[in-house]
Structures are given as structure tokens and as C-alpha cells.
Amino acid sequence: MAGESKTEKATPKKRRDERKKGHVFLSKDAIAVAALFGSTAVLRITFVGVVAAIYEMFHYAFQCAIHAPLGMGDDLIQECFYEMLVILAKSAGPLLLITVVVAIAATFAQTRGLVTGELLRPKFNRISPLQGFKRLFSLRSIIEAVKGILKIVILLWLIYTCVSDLIIVSSSYLYMDIHEACKHIFNAIFSMMLKVGLAFLVLAAFDFLYQWWDYEREMKMSKQEIKEEYKQTEGDPQVKGKIKELQRRMAQQRMMQQVPQADVVIRNPTHFAVALRYKLGEDEAPVVLAKGQDFMAQRIVAVAEEHKIAVVENVAVARALYANTEVGREIPPMLYGAVAEVMVFLYKLDEIEK
């Protein structure tokens, strides 16, 4: 059973159990790309404010350097440093906040809001050298390594092209206003981030599809596992079958105990038999005490004859009663006429015998 291939899709229970363990589908590249595009959009929107903040930060630094006395104390240095940090936080804060929010949203979208500490629990297979060696040469590790190399190559190439373009025009910055120079640099950075985002988007799409395929592959079950799960949730089919058979026999025994209380048994010669009771003043209509087919029908007839209960042979009525009634219930109105004829016949027969 250990070597049995897993060819069946995971059952809903298996998915719920794995989810509780923290094993859910997740593409980290999709999260990274979402965060990158979010930060790029914020950078584009807050571009003017960021440039102004950087200008203010450098201006404040130069003012401190020019107007501060030589050998200024630690308190003044700390004050200048604190003010520069405040300016930097005002400019970079929204960018970092949006990046974190987008990353969390992308994670929750894939995991459907799963929060669990199951993955934080220590497990031996995570520190096992043998398991680590297997993971090192697994298909997942190879694909992750290839993706990592592609990311580094793409990132280095885009940075190189961006920096090369900036170096070419760097001499012109000496003749530009600082706002114009910052604007030009930020446009170059934004362009580079956009290109990186588009390139990584392609890799993220591949990673998303691969992670989904790998997740479904890991979730697959063998036929034996499905059988074992069914036994745990629904019970062993053989045991359930035996219980149903026992319940059926007990119901038949209770039913047979009611036959002596019947007023009449209507039967098809061998196939069907229905025992009826009708107590004037108590029953609104005849009540079915027992019914059976083949062997059970013969038993009902035998018990009725043993207790001197009238047995009437009527093929049509017996079939109709068997098909349209339930044990312990009154007969339906559509059978009143047919059964009444039988009951009247019996009453007349009793009168004649008396």
C-alpha cells in the first residue's frame, strides 16, 4: 500500500485537513509582483511629494553643516539626524505601508484568510539531513533555482541599462535645477521598476501555474486512502451493511409480532400479503400492521392461520396495498372501497357462521 500511486483528486475532507495544517496553495512570486506594482503606483502618485521631501532633507542637512559651529555637540547631531529621519519617514512611509498592505492582501486572497500557527511547530523532517538532501534535488528546488537565476539576470540587466542611461546624462545634472534633476532620476527609476514588474509578472504567472499544479499533485490521494477516509467518516461499509441487516431483521420481528392483532390478511397467492386491523371507534381507517413479499408473505399468512385470522385471497387488492401503504399507517383513501368490500364480506361471513 505504501507504493500505491496517488491518482485520485483530493477529497473535500483532505483539503480541509491540509488547510488546518497550513498547507494551502500559495505563490510567493505573485505576492512579490503585487507588492512591486503597488509600490510603483504609489511612487508615481506621490512623486512630487517624494522629490520635495528629498530636497527638504538635503537642504536641512546642508543648513546644519553650514550654520552649525565647529565641533558641535552630540545633542545637535542627534537633533539633525532625527529631523532627517522624520522627513524620510514622511516620504517613504506611504510607500512602505502600501507595499505591506498589498502583500498582505495578496497573501490573504490566495489563502482565503487562513491564519494558523501549525507551520511554526517544530517538526523533525524539517531538520532531518536526509529529508533536506531530498528537497535539495527535488523538482521544486530545481525550478526555484532557475527562477532565482532568471530574476537576478533580469534585475542586473535592467539596473545596468538604467544606470548606463543615467551616467550618459549625468553631466547635464550640473546645469539643472535640483527639482528637475530629481524628476529625471525618479522617472528613470520608475521606468526601471515598471520594466522589472512586467518581467517579473511573466515569471509570477509561470510560478502561479506551477505552484497550483504542484499543490494539486501533492494533494492527490490513492484509492486506498480514499477508502480509509470513507471508513473514518462514514464507517466501514461492511459494518454498516451488517447493522442495516440487523435493523431490518429486528423491524421484521416487531412487525410479525403485530400480525396476531390483525382482523384480516389480504394476499396474492404466494407473492404478497398485507395484514390489516380495523377497530371501530378507534381507527378512522384500516391500519397496516404487517406486509411482506415472497418468503415474508408466506410467514405472515402462516402466523395468521395459526391465530385463526381470516386470510382473503385478492390479487389486485394485495398488490395495491403492498405498493401504496406503509407499516403502522392507515391505508390511503383510494383503497377504501376495495378494502371495504373485503371487510364487508368478512362481516357477512361471520354473521352466517354465527
DSSP state of 313: E
Q: How much is the pLDDT for 1?
A: 46
Q: Does residue 2 lie within any of the structural domains?
A: no
The answer on 215 and 66 residing in a single domain is yes
* Regions in the chain scoring below 50 on pLDDT: 1-2, 119-120, 124
Length of the chain: 354
* Cα–Cα distance for residue pair 82/74, rounded to 1 Å: 12
User: In whole angstroms, what is the distance from residue 171 CA to residue 175 CA?
Assistant: 8
Q: Which are the contacts of 349, defined by CB distance < 8 A and separation ≥ 6?
A: 310
State the DSSP code for 269: S
The CATH number covering residue 285 comes to: 3.40.1690.10
Residue 81 confidence (pLDDT): 73
CA distances from 343 to 257, 279, 292, 339, 349 (A): 22, 12, 20, 6, 10
pLDDT the model gives residue 215: 85
From 175, 202, 231, the end of a domain falls on 231
pLDDT tens-digit readout, 58-80: 776 677 666 655 555 556 667 76
CA distances from 323 to 154, 203, 285, 319, 328 (A): 77, 66, 18, 6, 14
Q: What is the pLDDT of residue 77?
A: 65
Q: Quick one: cell of 37?
A: 506594482
Strand partners, 21: none
| 209 and 122 co-located in one domain | yes
Examine the domain organization and report whether 272 and 329 are in the same domain.
Answer: yes
**Is residue 312 in some structural domain?**
yes
CA distance 203 to 150: 9
Residue 283 DSSP label: -
Same domain, 227 and 257: no
